[in-house]
Structure 1
Amino acid sequence: MSKTCERRKLIEVALPLDEINAACKADKGRAHGTIKNLHKWFAPMPLPAWRALLFAALVDDPEDDERRAYLLDVIKRLVANGADVPDRDAVDEAREIIATQFPSGAPLVMDPFCGGGSTLVEGQRLGLSTYGTDLNPVPALVSRTLTELLPPVYGRQPLHPASMDSHDRVGRGGTVARSEMALVPSVVNSKRYAGFDGVVCDVMHYAERIRDDAWELLKEHYPQAADEQIVAWLWARTATCPNPACKTETILTTSWWLSKKNNDLAWIQPRVQDGVVHLDVVTGQRAGEAPAAPKSPRGATFQCLACSSPIGEEDLNKQVADGGLGLRMTAVVIEKSGRRTYRAATPQDVDAIAGIDLRDFDSPVNVPAADGGSRNRFGLDTQADLYTQRQLLSLATLSNLVAVAHDRVLLDGGTQAWADAVTTVLGLGVGRLAQFASSQARWTVRDNVSSFEGAFPRNDLPMTWDFYEINVFGDAGPSWIQTFVSTTRSLKNVVPDGDGRVVLADARTVIAPQPALVATDPPYFDAIGYADLSDYFYVWHRRALRKVHPDLYATIAAPKVGELTAMPAHHGNSRSAAQSYFIEGFTETFKNLQESLANELPMIVVYASREQKGGADEETRWSSILTAMVQADLEITGTWPILGTTDRRMVGQGANAVATYVAMVCRPRSNAAGTCSLADFNRALRRELRPAVHDFQAAGILPVDLAQAAMGPGMQVYSRYREVLDQSGKRVSVKQALGLINAALGEVLDEQEGELDPFSRFAVAWWERYGWEAAPFGQADQLARPQGISVDDVVRAGVAAYPRPGFVGAEGAESLDREWKPSSDRRPTAWEAVHHLADRLINGGGALEAGRLMSELGTLRDPAQALVYRLHSIAAKKGWTKDQERYNALIGSWSDLLAVAATEKDGLF
């Protein structure tokens, strides 16, 4: 389908990428108060990015530098608050511009893979109506809540206004219930409730009533003592030692640590007596160490605590087949006299879970294998296997009580819309609580901090050997009431005058009810098994909300048929069949979506790869989505790399993880598009890739993501032709084109290396051959002479040293002079600048000291930045993970260091 296009949109010409990426970094780093807190969904796109992309896709490029600068400034102000809601005046100004652009009425914003709702929320923020669809009921429910249910009840008054005595009531389980209203001073004792405060007030009211009713049903299973508040119970799986002479039931834990808080260390001390493992709890220690954990660092291998015999995966699987692994309460987390501490489990703690009747809970829904395959390990087969019996009973009870809350709200005088909104938020709370109330929840002990980690730190359901069980009636950690304290804070991001609709529908066939701007963040090939993983939440949502949203819960489990992912397990474990299904499905999808596309508007498709190392698999993922776009006769008219990481991920959290989304701007390819020879394609590719790579580097795109980002401008060249033909007249495939793009990127980086000073060029070549190891002088001499320098020159320049007679080694790995400055160096080099920056950032003073050095670099700054990308590329090819992490961290912090440098220059330090 070909649509006329009179003018390019701003998104096809320019974006303030630095400001957008800074806002995205803040959004990803914000732990509370964003729409992500309403409910978990996978790989959410940062809200500031969608705000900027949608605005830029709607307005024409003015083809005037002054007017364009004004529009870019509007975008900068739209994202200036980072993770917070933009200023009202910036939003109003953007809405006025859009209204002027569309005097006959603005188009819809349509997202056919609506996910967590960020596209739709930001479309509404810009004043547009929205239409969201998804095959999966979980994201459909989340998006419906944010864009369809909540906006109509904005500003309404609660049925149950908060009063001061309700904030201080003693809660169940010996704890104090603190309403969210106590955290919102503006509404306490107020006659009028502003914004969504009325909704929050009633959500908290009914959440407390549900908790009280649940307590009456479950209190026998939640022991309490007058002098303590139980926060959580800690558990570990157990297995019988396979040694015939031992047969001890041993503990399969990954750590004995309870706390590493300064001067208040705590751990579990196992001891074996008469063939039984006893667990003592040691607290209040100023020094000492927890015993070594029985689990080996790799794989499912343990050591028996009694006889030290190994317990391997084969032994464990045999026990699973013979009846399953055991479960042992290892310790109890409590609060006593206002202080968190720990104690050993008592018979009362253990007896409280005896005799639990689960006849009311039926969970035939299978758990997806952690590796994406069809077979699970260690007995985690159904959803019920992910929980202790008390967790199952508690979640089932809370879900049942939410299911009757809708009628309760109506009886209390609420309208249908009010009851729908309040009850749906309560139902989402059950799913949110489940994230912290299963065996997927881990007690994580770091230096000076012990924390409650929920399920899905990664997008899978791995085997967990030890976990915590939260006291759902407590007031610490992610309990029932605290769940809503967290989730309701997300409502500030909902657009008060939003107008939207969300339905279950297939992107291959759905048509928008009116012309639309189609903008979406579709599934990432095989990176996430959305439907499989969403069953974790679906079973609870369905139980709680089936009567409120009957259209979402027609099946026992989340629908799997039709999901546009390339999961081999859904295709007879055939990777090729899965890939073919993905390409065919998305080709059909992109052709269909063009039917909904408003005339003169582009389509925005945001894509990212799986969070793992690049290589053939990543190439397959990208070639698949791009092949579908090309086969659907789409032309890529612009690409933008969007940052999707935080400082916390730069080092030590898998620095090879993809942290960049690529926003591809597409239009239906003109019927007049011609063919192109391979030679012409290569020439255009190199001509257009050079400035694009420079822009990526200037924007601080992480080195690990540079290859992914470069696919965009490369495919922009490829997709503008109907076909690219090789010398024999055969069509060049997308996969072949990606290989050519990667080769061209390598050439661009090589050219940048050629622009370095000769001493840095020597260091790069030497390091690529020998890394940080020393090598004979003769090798260095051969490498230095073509550069017109000697080895002594290189050593005097500080990029290499003589570690021992007759040998040369690169400088930069360690033992760097923290007083080094270019101004005091006779031969300052880009190599030295890079490694002194990295050293100070990571090992010596952090961003402040590194930023101060940045202010001294002067003309070394740009070549140093280019050099970091080159070094990361070499480290990636060599598999030098530690070096990759270091260079990735430096680029990830580059903009922060520039900000410190600017402050330093202004003399503020």
Structure 2
Amino acid sequence: MSETTRRRKLIEVALPLDEINAACKADKDRKTGTIRNLHKWFAPMPLPAWRALLFASLIDDPEDDNLRVGLLDLIKRLVANGADLPDDETLVEARDRLEKQFPDGLPPVLDPFCGGGSTLIESQRLGLPTYGSDLNPVPVLISRTLTETLPPLAARPALHKGQEPESGLFSLGPSGRFSGLVNDVMHYAELVRAQALDVLEPYYETLAGESPIAWLWARTAACPNPTCGVVTPLLTTYWLSKKSGDRAWLVAEPDGQGIVLRVVSGRADGAPAESLKIGDGVFACARCDATLDGPYLRAEGKAGRLGLRMICVVANVGKKRIYRSPTDEESSVLQRIPTDAEEFDVPINIDGQSIRVGLYGMTSWGSLMNSRQRLTLATFADLVAANRERIISDGGDETWATAITTLLGLAVGKMAQFSSSMAIWRNQPQAKTEAALSTHNLPMTWDFPEVNVFGTSVGDWRGLVKTALRALPFVSDAPTASATVIQGDARSATLPSPGLVATDPPYFDAIGYADISDFFYVWHRRALRTVHPDLYGTIATPKNGELTAVASRHGNNKREAQRYFIEGFTETFRNLKGQLLPELPMLVVYASKEQKAGKGEETRWSAILSAMIAADLEITGSWPIRGTTEARMVSAGTNAVSSYIVMVCRPRSQSAQTCSLADFNRSLRRELGSAVRDLQAASILPVDLAQAAMGPGMQIFSRYRAVLDQSGARVQVDQALRAINSALGEVLDEQEGDLDSESRFAVRWWATHGWAPGAFGEADKAVRPLGISVDDVVRAQVATSHANKVQLLGRSGLDRDWIPSNDISPTAWEAVHHLADRLIDGRGELEAARLMGELGPLQDPAMELTYRLHDIAAKSSRTSDQERYNALISAWSELIKLGSTAATTVAGRIF
């Protein structure tokens, strides 16, 4: 197909972003009953997004508005059920459409960075042959399980009917198609548990009548004061539980040469003393005034002198939870554990991205667990490995045995998240254990819970297996869609025939995937190396060849790491370009953990885009997909992915021309404004606007063979990104001109003074060029004037009965701040939605003003204000939807 006759795909023209983002929010908000329950992976893109994107990438744009509306409606129905799957009728319609689009056979789909399997499972759901790969065995195992191992086993009967514990607990989709597999998985999970208890019971003594939930531990260090030397428990808090009416905490009291920890529990009120933590990794001695600072504790850790002390036992007695001090026998349990095996000594890359534990002498994966946790994990892994032969001897075939053993092996990996010193005890609102790796890094932890894997609470074996099985309803039931998932390098990934490439590659240096994956790999390997021998030929995950920019792999040279990343992805994109069916685009999803623009963010985007440009790819479309879980306030230091940017790419035309930098800048200023308005209309978060604007900006840049500066030198991507950011700033400045005069004054005054008062004379000079006076601004309730000072209104003390129709001179400034006040400080969404429904023609300028104010707040480091404006835009679409309802109920009142 020639470039002149090639038709654009729907994704290059239109997408129902609001509906896709709503479905993604529902998917992210759901904690149980998603494919993420199968096993931890990093920054997975929600299933509804991939379902919509893949379909829109394969279907031609009809070039007719009415026909396009029909296709967009079909996509809306594909994601209409949010975190749940679309109905069968809609799926059949989507598959039929694809078959008509490709009468000679559906094209295969390739994801060479298969991650948690989202891309593969949704391409398979649409009926497409699916191929995935990754250099890292952990995502290969997850993706292979979901798309290759499980689909053929739907509707197969159980080997052990009538013996399955609690089999009715699971919602397994249409006709319970995996009920037989679930029954057998739970059957063998119970056998593994019973066998493990036989081995481990001597180390899990409990008091009569109690069912332990967790044992809480703290690291200890001797005071550096030679006249003291007391061994101090390094507790970050004395709180155990803040449950209303049933509080519990610790009291530390010096006693002779030691520290006694006493548990106080069952209190309706009261609170503990301040903890010994006085800074990040800095503690006070529990006896004297000495400080156990970072250098001292790091030296103690490397010398092996940091100890462990059990500080509390959390247990159920009947239906009541208790907190008590441990007995001497419980406290000394670690001394009775057998000597560790060599397999626990697999080294950690202590220089890896966001890995801090090595600073304290924790240099092997086994050192992240206490000895009972290591023994427990090893016991379960060995029993899972041995269980495969039992399944076969019970009459199961190889595929059945592989599936059950794999699911149990993945549960062992999940167990490691709860059974390590990286887990966290959350003392509110409902005190419980939080799994390790929630933030994709390995920080130093000073106190931690050891869950009871034989119990009935968070992190126990039965619960982990059940949770993993809740991913099964999302496995594709497409009757003819095959899948193949292998370990391999993206630079050499291939399809058996040309098709579609869709992938979510590593985010530069944001996550050290291979380094952190060893947390799971060492236990997966122990349980599954005979089941998946192709994945476990090495004692740790492959590090060489991983396409990240982790500086520790390059002598801590960031520039060299960046060069490696760009060259590796240039080679990758050139290879992937060769796998494309000529009529199909390539989808590349990119994002960053950063929530604020800056040099690091620019470097990350510059690197991936440089590789695309060097591989002669042209960006023909870009879409921001919401990745947050809620209309959140963005806290300082937040590292959650907020939006995924989907870039639609084609091989650049052979006839592409060069252009001058001046022409490129003119094109930016001509085209970027409408693109930014489209992004704002789609409620892209202000914090993500700069990222999202890179897409349409790079569409312009990448359409040229080269952009040349005045000297004739090629303009590099980082320079183009700066030009795009500059043009974005101009667009936001121009939008300010659309505001009423009072709001324009307020923007300029706020940029200089914030919420602080300023001199009346300065305000008078600022307001006169706008054709109004300070009195006009005051009458409009945008500011106050008192004692020769002018101060803006909007941060507090607002009248929550304000509506524009009762205001003589309503302004966009008032609309924005009344909305934010009601959403964040008032009664929430419903009250803010009521006001949104009253804004009328103020709605659009208010939205533009919110983006403008967020931009100013970000550049001025006004974090609190930045958070408020971001939260308002995050909720904007929902407020419009709720505001259009004729009757909205707020706290029993009907409006």
Residues 480-507 of structure 1: per-residue CA shift (max 9 Å, x gap)? 1100111101110001234201001111
Q: Which moved more, 1:305-314 or 1:69-78?
A: 305-314
Question: One-letter code of the match for 2:780?
Answer: A
Is structure 2 residue 53 aligned with structure 1 residue 53?
A: yes
Tell me the equivalent position of 1:176: none
How big is the shift at 1:459?
1.3
2:451 to 456, 470, 482: 470
Tell me how many residue pairs correspond in the alignment.
888
Superposition map of 1:490-889 within 5 A:
490-496=471-477, 497=479, 498-647=481-630, 649-652=632-635, 654=637, 657-802=640-785, 804-889=786-871
How big is the shift at 1:274?
1.1
Alignment identity in percent? 58
Tell me the equivalent position of 2:877: 895
Tell me the equivalent position of 1:173: none
Superposition map of 1:389-468 within 5 A:
389-446=371-428, 448-468=429-449
Tell me the equivalent position of 1:87: 87
Question: One-letter code of the match for 2:286?
Answer: L
Residues 778-803 of structure 1: per-residue CA shift (max 9 Å, x gap)? 1111111111111121112111113x
SS of corresponding position for 1:354: helix
Q: Which moved more, 1:351-360 or 1:843-852?
A: 351-360
Asked whether the equivalents of residues 41 and 139 of structure 1 are also in contact (C-alpha less than 8 Å), the reply is yes
How big is the shift at 1:366?
2.5
Question: One-letter code of the match for 2:760?
Answer: F
Q: Which moved more, 1:98-107 or 1:494-503?
A: 494-503
Question: One-letter code of the match for 1:400?
Answer: D
Q: Which moved more, 1:874-883 or 1:451-460?
A: 451-460
Asked whether the equivalents of residues 108 and 128 of structure 2 are also in contact (C-alpha less than 8 Å), the reply is yes
Asked whether the equivalents of residues 5 and 600 of structure 1 are also in contact (C-alpha less than 8 Å), the reply is no
Tell me the equivalent position of 2:295: 314
How big is the shift at 1:369?
4.0
Evaluate the alpha carbon distance shift between residue 706 and residue 648 of structure 1 in structure 2; reply closer, same or farther with a 3 A threshold: closer
SS of corresponding position for 1:663: strand
Q: CA–CA distance in 2 between the matches of 1:807 and 1:882?
A: 24
Q: CA–CA distance in 2 between the matches of 1:96 and 1:507?
A: 31
SS of corresponding position for 1:511: coil
Tell me the equivalent position of 1:383: 365
Q: CA–CA distance in 1 between the matches of 2:304 and 2:313?
A: 27
Is structure 2 residue 103 aligned with structure 1 residue 103?
A: yes
Residues 538-583 of structure 1: per-residue CA shift (max 9 Å, x gap)? 0000000000000000000000000000000000100010000000
Asked whether the equivalents of residues 673 and 722 of structure 1 are also in contact (C-alpha less than 8 Å), the reply is yes
SS of corresponding position for 2:176: coil
Tell me the equivalent position of 2:154: 154
How big is the shift at 1:231?
0.4
Asked whether the equivalents of residues 2 and 669 of structure 1 are also in contact (C-alpha less than 8 Å), the reply is no
How big is the shift at 1:236?
1.0
How big is the shift at 1:676?
1.1
Residues 404-449 of structure 1: per-residue CA shift (max 9 Å, x gap)? 1111111110111111111100100000111111111101123x32
How big is the shift at 1:853?
1.3
Asked whether the equivalents of residues 619 and 735 of structure 1 are also in contact (C-alpha less than 8 Å), the reply is yes
Q: CA–CA distance in 1 between the matches of 2:12 and 2:168?
A: 48
Q: CA–CA distance in 1 between the matches of 2:63 and 2:310?
A: 68
Superposition map of 1:256-405 within 5 A:
256-296=238-278, 298-369=279-350, 372=353, 376-405=358-387
Asked whether the equivalents of residues 418 and 436 of structure 2 are also in contact (C-alpha less than 8 Å), the reply is yes
Q: CA–CA distance in 1 between the matches of 2:232 and 2:800?
A: 50
1:202 to 184, 191, 196: 184
Is structure 2 residue 212 aligned with structure 1 residue 230?
A: yes
Q: Which moved more, 1:479-488 or 1:789-798?
A: 789-798
Q: CA–CA distance in 1 between the matches of 2:639 and 2:854?
A: 11
SS of corresponding position for 1:476: coil
Tell me the equivalent position of 2:169: 183
Q: CA–CA distance in 2 between the matches of 1:656 and 1:887?
A: 18
How big is the shift at 1:157?
0.6
Q: CA–CA distance in 2 between the matches of 1:245 and 1:648?
A: 54
Q: CA–CA distance in 2 between the matches of 1:151 and 1:85?
A: 16
TM-score (normalizing by structure 1):
0.95
Asked whether the equivalents of residues 655 and 888 of structure 1 are also in contact (C-alpha less than 8 Å), the reply is no
How big is the shift at 1:4?
7.5
Asked whether the equivalents of residues 43 and 641 of structure 2 are also in contact (C-alpha less than 8 Å), the reply is no
Q: CA–CA distance in 1 between the matches of 2:348 and 2:595?
A: 23
How big is the shift at 1:336?
1.1
Q: CA–CA distance in 2 between the matches of 1:609 and 1:541?
A: 28
Asked whether the equivalents of residues 573 and 612 of structure 2 are also in contact (C-alpha less than 8 Å), the reply is yes
1:479 to 460, 475, 492: 460
Residues 156-203 of structure 1: per-residue CA shift (max 9 Å, x gap)? 01111244xx64xxxxxxxxxxx3x1414899xxxx983011111111
How big is the shift at 1:657?
5.0
Evaluate the alpha carbon distance shift between residue 3 and residue 205 of structure 1 in structure 2; reply closer, same or farther with a 3 A threshold: farther
Q: What RMSD in Å do the two structures reach over aligned CA positions? A: 1.8
Evaluate the alpha carbon distance shift between residue 185 and residue 2 of structure 1 in structure 2; reply closer, same or farther with a 3 A threshold: closer
Residues 861-903 of structure 1: per-residue CA shift (max 9 Å, x gap)? 1111111110110011011111111111111111121122122
TM-score (normalizing by structure 2):
0.97
Structure 1, unmatched stretches of 5+, are 168-178
Structure 2, unmatched stretches of 5+, are none
Asked whether the equivalents of residues 639 and 712 of structure 1 are also in contact (C-alpha less than 8 Å), the reply is yes
Q: CA–CA distance in 1 between the matches of 2:9 and 2:774?
A: 54
Superposition map of 1:234-249 within 5 A:
234-249=216-231
Q: CA–CA distance in 2 between the matches of 1:31 and 1:653?
A: 24
Q: CA–CA distance in 2 between the matches of 1:548 and 1:4?
A: 50
Q: Which moved more, 1:362-371 or 1:609-618?
A: 362-371
Tell me the equivalent position of 1:170: none
How big is the shift at 1:324?
2.7
Residues 811-861 of structure 1: per-residue CA shift (max 9 Å, x gap)? 111111112111111111111111111111111101111111111111111
Asked whether the equivalents of residues 2 and 668 of structure 1 are also in contact (C-alpha less than 8 Å), the reply is no
Evaluate the alpha carbon distance shift between residue 834 and residue 371 of structure 1 in structure 2; reply closer, same or farther with a 3 A threshold: farther
Residues 58-101 of structure 1: per-residue CA shift (max 9 Å, x gap)? 01011111111100000000000111111111111000000000
SS of corresponding position for 1:597: coil
Q: CA–CA distance in 2 between the matches of 1:221 and 1:193?
A: 43
Evaluate the alpha carbon distance shift between residue 4 and residue 827 of structure 1 in structure 2; reply closer, same or farther with a 3 A threshold: closer
SS of corresponding position for 2:359: coil
Q: CA–CA distance in 2 between the matches of 1:756 and 1:794?
A: 14
Evaluate the alpha carbon distance shift between residue 529 and residue 371 of structure 1 in structure 2; reply closer, same or farther with a 3 A threshold: closer
SS of corresponding position for 1:710: helix
Question: One-letter code of the match for 1:315?
Answer: Y
Asked whether the equivalents of residues 451 and 458 of structure 2 are also in contact (C-alpha less than 8 Å), the reply is yes
Evaluate the alpha carbon distance shift between residue 370 and residue 784 of structure 1 in structure 2; reply closer, same or farther with a 3 A threshold: farther
SS of corresponding position for 1:363: helix
How big is the shift at 1:342?
1.0
